Amino acid sequence: MKLQDKVCIVTGAASGIGREIAMTYARQGGKLAIADLNKAAAQVVADEINRAGGQAMAVAMDVTSEEQVDAAVAEVAAAWGGVDVLVSNAGIQIVHPVEDFPFADWKKMLAIHLDGAFLTTKACVPHMKASGKGGSIIYMGSVHSKEASVLKSAYVTAKHGLMGLCKTVSKEGGKFGIRANVICPGFVRTPLVEKQIPEQSKALGISEDDVIKKVMLKDTVDGEFTTVQDVAEVALLFASFGSNALTGQSLVVSHGWFMQ
Protein backbone atom coordinates (compact mmCIF):
# COMPACT_ATOMS: atom_id res chain seq x y z
CA MET A 1 0.00 0.00 0.00
CA LYS A 2 2.02 2.92 -1.30
CA LEU A 3 -0.58 5.62 -0.54
CA GLN A 4 -2.21 4.36 2.67
CA ASP A 5 -4.67 7.03 3.88
CA LYS A 6 -3.10 9.73 1.70
CA VAL A 7 -5.73 12.26 0.62
CA CYS A 8 -5.50 12.58 -3.16
CA ILE A 9 -7.38 15.05 -5.36
CA VAL A 10 -7.47 14.13 -9.05
CA THR A 11 -9.05 16.65 -11.42
CA GLY A 12 -10.76 15.43 -14.58
CA ALA A 13 -11.04 12.04 -12.85
CA ALA A 14 -14.47 11.18 -14.26
CA SER A 15 -12.91 9.92 -17.51
CA GLY A 16 -9.82 8.60 -19.26
CA ILE A 17 -6.39 9.06 -17.68
CA GLY A 18 -7.64 10.77 -14.51
CA ARG A 19 -10.11 7.97 -13.83
CA GLU A 20 -7.40 5.33 -14.12
CA ILE A 21 -5.05 7.30 -11.84
CA ALA A 22 -7.83 7.53 -9.24
CA MET A 23 -8.53 3.77 -9.42
CA THR A 24 -4.79 2.99 -9.12
CA TYR A 25 -4.33 5.33 -6.13
CA ALA A 26 -7.41 3.86 -4.43
CA ARG A 27 -6.00 0.32 -4.80
CA GLN A 28 -2.89 1.60 -3.01
CA GLY A 29 -4.91 2.81 0.00
CA GLY A 30 -5.41 6.45 -1.02
CA LYS A 31 -8.54 8.45 -0.14
CA LEU A 32 -9.69 9.77 -3.50
CA ALA A 33 -11.47 13.00 -4.35
CA ILE A 34 -12.85 12.55 -7.86
CA ALA A 35 -13.00 16.17 -9.02
CA ASP A 36 -14.68 16.93 -12.32
CA LEU A 37 -16.86 19.34 -14.21
CA ASN A 38 -19.21 16.42 -14.65
CA LYS A 39 -20.23 15.64 -11.05
CA ALA A 40 -22.58 12.79 -12.02
CA ALA A 41 -19.80 10.99 -13.92
CA ALA A 42 -17.40 11.66 -11.02
CA GLN A 43 -19.92 10.07 -8.66
CA VAL A 44 -19.97 6.92 -10.83
CA VAL A 45 -16.18 6.59 -10.45
CA ALA A 46 -16.35 7.27 -6.68
CA ASP A 47 -19.11 4.64 -6.29
CA GLU A 48 -17.04 2.12 -8.22
CA ILE A 49 -14.05 2.70 -5.90
CA ASN A 50 -16.19 2.50 -2.77
CA ARG A 51 -17.88 -0.72 -3.97
CA ALA A 52 -14.44 -2.26 -4.45
CA GLY A 53 -13.59 -1.47 -0.81
CA GLY A 54 -11.70 1.78 -1.42
CA GLN A 55 -12.45 5.30 -0.18
CA ALA A 56 -13.65 7.98 -2.58
CA MET A 57 -15.84 11.05 -2.78
CA ALA A 58 -17.01 12.99 -5.84
CA VAL A 59 -16.64 16.77 -5.90
CA ALA A 60 -17.96 19.21 -8.49
CA MET A 61 -15.15 21.38 -9.79
CA ASP A 62 -14.69 23.57 -12.83
CA VAL A 63 -10.92 24.05 -12.63
CA THR A 64 -11.20 27.47 -14.29
CA SER A 65 -13.32 28.84 -11.42
CA GLU A 66 -11.36 30.01 -8.36
CA GLU A 67 -14.55 29.86 -6.29
CA GLN A 68 -15.32 26.25 -7.27
CA VAL A 69 -11.72 25.08 -6.87
CA ASP A 70 -11.44 26.65 -3.41
CA ALA A 71 -14.81 25.25 -2.31
CA ALA A 72 -14.06 21.72 -3.53
CA VAL A 73 -10.57 21.63 -1.97
CA ALA A 74 -11.99 22.96 1.31
CA GLU A 75 -14.71 20.28 1.20
CA VAL A 76 -12.13 17.51 0.76
CA ALA A 77 -9.81 18.89 3.45
CA ALA A 78 -12.73 19.22 5.89
CA ALA A 79 -13.88 15.65 5.22
CA TRP A 80 -10.46 14.00 5.42
CA GLY A 81 -8.24 16.43 7.36
CA GLY A 82 -5.89 17.66 4.65
CA VAL A 83 -4.55 17.16 1.13
CA ASP A 84 -1.43 15.06 0.40
CA VAL A 85 -1.50 14.59 -3.38
CA LEU A 86 -2.86 16.78 -6.19
CA VAL A 87 -3.06 15.50 -9.74
CA SER A 88 -3.91 18.44 -12.00
CA ASN A 89 -5.17 16.45 -14.95
CA ALA A 90 -8.38 18.01 -16.32
CA GLY A 91 -7.95 18.96 -19.93
CA ILE A 92 -9.51 19.28 -23.35
CA GLN A 93 -8.26 19.57 -26.92
CA ILE A 94 -9.23 22.09 -29.58
CA VAL A 95 -7.42 22.04 -32.94
CA HIS A 96 -7.25 24.74 -35.63
CA PRO A 97 -4.53 26.28 -37.79
CA VAL A 98 -3.18 29.26 -35.86
CA GLU A 99 -4.66 31.86 -38.24
CA ASP A 100 -8.13 30.34 -37.83
CA PHE A 101 -7.92 29.72 -34.07
CA PRO A 102 -10.88 31.52 -32.48
CA PHE A 103 -9.56 33.74 -29.68
CA ALA A 104 -12.30 32.44 -27.38
CA ASP A 105 -11.07 28.86 -27.93
CA TRP A 106 -7.46 29.90 -27.28
CA LYS A 107 -8.51 31.49 -23.98
CA LYS A 108 -10.60 28.44 -23.03
CA MET A 109 -7.63 26.12 -23.62
CA LEU A 110 -5.26 28.22 -21.55
CA ALA A 111 -7.86 28.61 -18.81
CA ILE A 112 -8.49 24.88 -18.40
CA HIS A 113 -4.87 23.75 -18.66
CA LEU A 114 -2.96 26.64 -17.05
CA ASP A 115 -5.45 28.50 -14.82
CA GLY A 116 -6.70 25.09 -13.67
CA ALA A 117 -3.21 23.94 -12.70
CA PHE A 118 -2.49 27.27 -10.98
CA LEU A 119 -5.77 27.47 -9.05
CA THR A 120 -5.68 23.87 -7.80
CA THR A 121 -2.02 24.26 -6.77
CA LYS A 122 -2.80 27.52 -4.98
CA ALA A 123 -5.67 25.89 -3.09
CA CYS A 124 -3.77 22.70 -2.11
CA VAL A 125 -0.35 24.08 -1.11
CA PRO A 126 -1.56 25.64 2.20
CA HIS A 127 -2.91 22.23 3.30
CA MET A 128 0.37 20.51 2.40
CA LYS A 129 2.29 23.13 4.41
CA ALA A 130 -0.09 23.02 7.38
CA SER A 131 0.21 19.24 7.80
CA GLY A 132 4.00 19.50 8.15
CA LYS A 133 4.23 16.45 5.85
CA GLY A 134 4.46 18.23 2.49
CA GLY A 135 2.92 16.54 -0.51
CA SER A 136 3.14 15.69 -4.18
CA ILE A 137 1.76 17.81 -7.02
CA ILE A 138 1.54 16.18 -10.42
CA TYR A 139 0.74 18.07 -13.60
CA MET A 140 -0.60 16.21 -16.63
CA GLY A 141 1.62 17.50 -19.39
CA SER A 142 2.09 15.73 -22.69
CA VAL A 143 4.76 14.99 -25.27
CA HIS A 144 3.42 18.36 -26.36
CA SER A 145 5.19 19.82 -23.27
CA LYS A 146 8.39 19.12 -25.27
CA GLU A 147 7.37 18.98 -28.94
CA ALA A 148 4.97 20.77 -31.26
CA SER A 149 2.41 19.47 -33.74
CA VAL A 150 0.47 21.34 -36.38
CA LEU A 151 -3.02 22.63 -35.44
CA LYS A 152 -2.26 22.53 -31.70
CA SER A 153 -0.89 25.99 -30.90
CA ALA A 154 -2.99 26.45 -27.75
CA TYR A 155 -2.44 22.93 -26.43
CA VAL A 156 1.33 23.02 -27.06
CA THR A 157 1.60 26.46 -25.46
CA ALA A 158 -0.37 25.37 -22.40
CA LYS A 159 1.49 22.08 -21.98
CA HIS A 160 4.86 23.84 -22.26
CA GLY A 161 3.61 26.36 -19.68
CA LEU A 162 3.01 23.60 -17.13
CA MET A 163 6.75 22.87 -17.14
CA GLY A 164 7.45 26.40 -15.87
CA LEU A 165 4.78 26.17 -13.19
CA CYS A 166 6.13 22.79 -12.06
CA LYS A 167 9.71 24.02 -11.74
CA THR A 168 8.65 27.10 -9.78
CA VAL A 169 6.36 25.16 -7.43
CA SER A 170 9.11 22.62 -6.79
CA LYS A 171 11.54 25.42 -5.83
CA GLU A 172 9.00 27.17 -3.59
CA GLY A 173 7.84 23.86 -2.08
CA GLY A 174 11.25 22.31 -1.43
CA LYS A 175 11.67 23.37 2.16
CA PHE A 176 8.15 22.18 2.97
CA GLY A 177 8.56 18.74 1.37
CA ILE A 178 6.19 19.69 -1.45
CA ARG A 179 7.32 18.07 -4.70
CA ALA A 180 6.05 18.91 -8.21
CA ASN A 181 6.52 16.89 -11.38
CA VAL A 182 5.04 16.63 -14.87
CA ILE A 183 3.91 13.48 -16.68
CA CYS A 184 4.23 13.70 -20.47
CA PRO A 185 2.15 10.97 -22.15
CA GLY A 186 2.10 10.17 -25.83
CA PHE A 187 -1.27 9.41 -27.47
CA VAL A 188 -3.67 7.48 -25.22
CA ARG A 189 -7.03 6.27 -26.61
CA THR A 190 -9.36 8.25 -24.35
CA PRO A 191 -12.46 10.24 -25.41
CA LEU A 192 -10.15 13.26 -25.86
CA VAL A 193 -8.18 11.41 -28.56
CA GLU A 194 -11.12 9.56 -30.13
CA LYS A 195 -12.63 12.99 -30.90
CA GLN A 196 -9.41 14.17 -32.59
CA ILE A 197 -9.17 11.30 -35.09
CA PRO A 198 -12.05 12.42 -37.37
CA GLU A 199 -11.22 16.10 -36.76
CA GLN A 200 -7.61 15.67 -37.87
CA SER A 201 -8.65 13.46 -40.77
CA LYS A 202 -10.81 16.31 -42.05
CA ALA A 203 -8.28 19.08 -41.32
CA LEU A 204 -5.32 17.23 -42.87
CA GLY A 205 -7.28 15.61 -45.73
CA ILE A 206 -6.14 12.06 -44.90
CA SER A 207 -7.96 8.90 -43.75
CA GLU A 208 -8.62 8.19 -40.07
CA ASP A 209 -6.31 5.18 -40.29
CA ASP A 210 -3.55 7.45 -41.59
CA VAL A 211 -4.18 9.92 -38.74
CA ILE A 212 -3.41 7.07 -36.32
CA LYS A 213 -0.47 5.56 -38.21
CA LYS A 214 1.11 8.56 -39.93
CA VAL A 215 0.40 11.31 -37.41
CA MET A 216 -0.30 10.02 -33.89
CA LEU A 217 1.98 7.00 -33.69
CA LYS A 218 4.48 7.89 -36.43
CA ASP A 219 7.41 8.54 -34.09
CA THR A 220 6.83 5.75 -31.57
CA VAL A 221 9.29 2.84 -31.53
CA ASP A 222 6.56 0.25 -32.13
CA GLY A 223 3.40 1.92 -33.49
CA GLU A 224 1.57 1.40 -30.19
CA PHE A 225 -0.71 3.69 -28.20
CA THR A 226 0.28 4.47 -24.61
CA THR A 227 -2.37 3.16 -22.19
CA VAL A 228 -4.13 4.76 -19.25
CA GLN A 229 -2.46 2.12 -17.06
CA ASP A 230 1.00 3.16 -18.30
CA VAL A 231 0.29 6.76 -17.29
CA ALA A 232 -1.22 5.73 -13.93
CA GLU A 233 1.96 3.78 -13.05
CA VAL A 234 4.04 6.93 -13.55
CA ALA A 235 1.50 8.94 -11.52
CA LEU A 236 1.87 6.39 -8.71
CA LEU A 237 5.66 6.73 -8.78
CA PHE A 238 5.48 10.52 -8.52
CA ALA A 239 2.81 10.41 -5.78
CA SER A 240 4.53 7.84 -3.58
CA PHE A 241 8.19 8.79 -3.98
CA GLY A 242 9.65 9.34 -0.53
CA SER A 243 11.84 12.43 -0.81
CA ASN A 244 12.62 15.69 -2.59
CA ALA A 245 15.13 13.79 -4.75
CA LEU A 246 12.42 13.54 -7.40
CA THR A 247 11.06 17.04 -7.95
CA GLY A 248 10.91 19.60 -10.74
CA GLN A 249 11.10 16.79 -13.31
CA SER A 250 9.10 15.60 -16.27
CA LEU A 251 8.80 12.04 -17.50
CA VAL A 252 7.78 11.12 -21.03
CA VAL A 253 5.68 7.92 -21.28
CA SER A 254 5.03 7.55 -24.98
CA HIS A 255 6.48 4.38 -26.59
CA GLY A 256 9.58 6.38 -27.45
CA TRP A 257 7.93 9.34 -29.18
CA PHE A 258 10.31 12.19 -28.25
CA MET A 259 13.53 11.06 -26.62
CA GLN A 260 15.32 13.45 -24.24
Binding mask 74-113 for ligand NAD (x = CB under 6 A): ---------------xxxx-------------------x-
Strands 7-11 and 85-88: parallel
Residue 68 or 131: the one with the smaller Cβ distance to ligand NAD is 68
Asked if 155 is an active-site residue, the reply is yes
Per the residue annotation, which of 155, 187, 225, 238 is the catalytic one? 155
Q: Any contact of residue 18 with ligand NAD (CB under 6 A)?
A: yes
Binding pattern for the stretch 133-152 against ligand NAD, x by CB under 6 A and - elsewhere: -------x-x----------
| Region near ligand NAD per CB under 6 A, out of 16-24, 45-53, 97-105, 197-205 | 16-24
Task: Give yes or no for residue 12 binding ligand NAD (CB under 6 A).
Answer: yes
Instruction: Please identify, using beta-carbon distances, which residue of 134 and 139 lies nearer to ligand NAD.
Output: 139
Of 30, 235, 8, nearest in space to 128 by CA: 8
Nearer to ligand NAD, 136 or 142 (CB): 142
Residues found near ligand NAD in the complex (CB under 6 A)? 11-12, 14-18, 36-38, 61-64, 89-92, 112, 140, 142, 185, 187-188, 190-193
